[in-house]
Structure 1
């Protein structure tokens, strides 16, 4: 079926809302590919739009320059919706990208405009994709966020030019990721500027970005992204205060002066961040970059050599989050895409809260080697849960080169380890030597 205009295509696409994939599977593709998520795009392409299966490098609706993508979303406990996973676009050719400019790249040639068909991921029918229901459709133009995407493209290109394709990480960029691709985790390919083999990777729109696009379906007006990265915004806001103590900063931004003997709030760093940067829930209204990236802002005390005085901790562990194998887990997706924006305050073990000096803003993202090591700790937690044996948990120094460990998160006396199966009193923390290597 050929469409002469975007309007004609979208008017036809309205008819897909409410259908299950099994309803439009005219070629019975689901019968032989019940667990292949990639098959859903083929079902829509053949069964709804009447196209033949192809791997044509041109856009699916070539006459309109529009690419078709089918993607899932999930409903969260707080009733918000989020994309189920990143949206994979096209493979990165390491030999070609070094000579490409973003505006004329194969990436933009094929994906400038994307028609996204959204289905609701049904956990009760997770092994029967045919029962998933299509709920929304959306025409997305990459030109809306061109400056951010171009910056991301050039970050990826720069690493390949430096012979560092093997060090690419999804956390390096804001919206456009370089996700690993390959039938096996051991797959590798050559790169032009180094003899080191690199994992095959594809351009992808990151999960956080796709979630932002999904949530914009019913939003008539959006805040534009003025910054290319979340770190850039945060640094610009904090820059005038670098070199000042926590108390000096708080007195300047709040007008409240700490007197001799006053108790200094334990969360003073967070109070400062909220005043200068904005509260977490407000950031998306300040700059759109915060709606479309997966990030966490961390305040970290360090010594003069940038060595952490505390470990970096994460959200509490929930047993149900370890149901899946590492490669299919939410934790793996989290570490692949997350950017930790670390606000460092210099002091010493003897320095009191309030006396530490604002030093810098650092960004931490993870290499494939880091991700593999995270997986080892994840699998130890998973094995402990399966065997109901807490001795198998990844305690600090459980194995060589360990960077992710389990630790109590709560008040003293919680006996978090022994109560691991009774509540959410433990969390992942990062080894301080590892964090030091990242921020240095």
Structure 2
């Protein structure tokens, strides 16, 4: 006779059982030997449910502990070089059935019914992935959806729902949501396609998810450190944080930078003048990127000047990279993926009010995420840049300057590679330098030469597409 699932009479009993597994290697908990054959880390949760909680492996629509309405989720975190803790991956909630999901009311969806309450079981995923039997649970947390985050989560749901209702489920992207979103789930390559209700086109199978940055915030502020982080939104409001921020900043629409700098007592010559201005408009003391809302959404502030003709004043840079680090990084841990493809951005645009581009006035605020459809192109540029670094960067002297063979904006419309320093210095031969910069302006190549620091950039034409909301 098949063994019945254990029934837990209370939340306290369930948490006590979870605590009993802390510190015990998964391989010891597992009595079936199933973990030795595991090929998908996503199956680790099933093993923990079976071995620790006495629940048979299942694919039920209801929550794992139905009488308590609690779903069990086993999920990894990682320790960064600076010692801080970060979510290793998104928290996948449940598969989406486009045909039966309630696209009108989040509180009547399958994901809400199944995952309204979750017991999160955390393990340190920094260990070598080849040895899942050595993983141990280190903490757990009874997750309940946070009231102050619900307006943003509902806004995320509505954005996703609107795409589906337009018959565009095949165009869903992780960048659709700030906290809640969807991710592809299955084998991929067209093998996991599903019907959608408002179109004859099939769409890739996707799952509801809480995004990695949101899970990192939960880990750092509810599970482990429990730090107090400044919020932009001071009082609970029935609006997503993006709408509140947009309204607050755009209340100064039409005012020029000089007027705003004076009004908010910002030194216009400061390197951080633009960021300081936005911070003061929002009435916060910390950097915008370090606020609770921006950390949860993995969001970055970008202030852009648009010329009178509608073209951005300049290309838009990202952080400098070290050449030696680039050649050893994987795509999953790369700067390109983490700082561009996985980021959400808040763009604050100032547009020139005169044809001579002498006065820039606050124009609009726009929230934008890198589309999944463009990730292959970004990855291609990343790979090409790495290959050039590995094979030896070609330096060519031309009219008192030095040119490289990195991907340029002339042939790369989404992202390209360019110097990112005020002064340049190139070691064109061993100990022979060209340029007025210092060694501090350079990064060392694997072959030993020093050349001016570089970074990835969005070309002006691409930023214009963002500004025009044409991407």
> Normalization by structure 2: what TM-score?
0.81
Aligned equivalent of 1:242: 253
- Superposed displacement of residue 326, structure 1: 4.1
Q: How many residues align?
A: 427
Stretch moving more, 175-184 or 82-91: 175-184
Deviation of the 1:169 alpha carbon = 2.3
In structure 2, stretches of 5+ residues that fail to align are 1-5, 395-403, 427-440
Per-residue CA deviation, residues 99-119 of structure 1 (Å, 9 max, x unaligned), is: 552111101111101111111
* Structure 1: tracts of 5 or more residues without a match: none
Task: Tell me which moved more, 422-431 or 365-374.
Answer: 422-431
Q: Secondary structure at the match of 2:297?
A: coil
Q: Do the aligned residues in 2 keep the contact of 1:228 with 1:289 (CA within 8 Å)?
A: no
Cα 1:371/1:30, change in 2 over 3 Å: same
- Please state how far the C-alpha of 1:379 moved relative to its aligned partner: 2.2
Instruction: Tell me which residue corresponds to 2:460.
Output: 432
Q: What does the per-residue CA deviation read over 1:114-154, in whole Å, with 9 as the maximum and x for residues that have no partner?
A: 1111111225x232222223211011012643333222111
Shift of 1:389: 5.1
Aligned to 2:430: none
Is residue 150 from structure 1 mapped to residue 157 from structure 2 by the alignment? no
Contact 2:180 2:208 in 1 (8 A): yes
**Equivalent residue, structure 1, for 2:28:** 23
Higher relative contact order (CA 8 A, sep 6+): 1
Name the counterpart of 1:82.
Answer: 86
- The answer on 1:301 being equivalent to 2:314 is no
Change (3 A) 1:307 1:351: closer
> Highest Rg: 1 or 2?
2
Cα deviation 1:160-212 (Å, max 9, x = unaligned): 11122233222222210111223124444443333444332211000111111
TM-score normalised by the chain length of structure 1: 0.86
1:128 is matched with which residue: 127, 131, 147? 131
1:411 aligned residue: 422
Cα distance in 2 between the residues matched to 1:234 and 1:95: 35
Measured at CA, do residues 49 and 378 of structure 1 come closer, stay the same or move farther in structure 2, by a change above 3 Å? same
Q: Name which of 3, 10, 28 aligns with 1:5.
A: 10
Shift of 1:315: 2.1
Secondary structure of the 1:11 match is helix
1:307 aligned counterpart, secondary structure = coil
Partner Cα separation in structure 2 for residue 18 and residue 173 of structure 1? 35
Considering only aligned residues, what root-mean-square deviation do their CA atoms show, in Å?
Answer: 3.1
**Partners in 2 of 1:332 and 1:110 — Cα distance?**
31
Kept after mapping to 1: 8 A contact 2:194/2:202 = yes
Closer, same or farther: CA 336–403 of 1 in aligned 2, 3 Å: closer
**Structure with a larger share of its residues in helix:** 1
**Is the contact between residue 279 and residue 286 of structure 2 (CA under 8 Å) also seen in structure 1?**
no
1:346–1:358 Cα contact (<8 Å) kept: yes
Residue matched to 2:438: none
On the 8 A contact 1:363/1:439 being kept in 2, the answer is no
Matches of 1:196 and 1:72, distance apart in 2? 35
